[in-house]
Amino acid sequence: MSQPEIAAKEPAVLELEPGTYWWCACGQSKNQPWCDGSHKGTAFQPLEVTIDKAKKYAMCQCKHSANGAFCDGTHRKL
């Protein structure tokens, strides 16, 4: 698998509290948008995301955002 699986063609809009999260980069996690270890045995690694401020965030689920874990609208072109 050289390309990540598209988990969804829409962002996960979540109210996040400050802390560290691990964003799924492979698209295989059953706990989208967060990593559940499904990438093991692939070339993908989860991305560490540090949230400093409690608010709503649009987290990428298409796995093709140029903005890492955060949605940039790329899902509309897939």
Q: Is the pLDDT of residue 13 over 90?
A: yes
Judged by DSSP in three states, 23 sits in strand
pTM of the predicted model, to two decimals?
0.93
Q: Is the pLDDT of residue 14 over 80?
A: yes
Task: Say what the pLDDT of residue 2 is.
Answer: 86
Q: What is the pLDDT of residues 50-60, one digit of tens each?
A: 999 999 999 99
Task: Say what the pLDDT of residue 1 is.
Answer: 54
Tell how strand 55-59 and strand 12-16 pair up. Answer: antiparallel
What is the C-alpha separation between 14 and 72, in angstroms, rounded?
15
Q: What is the pLDDT of residues 23-37, one digit of tens each?
A: 999 999 999 999 999
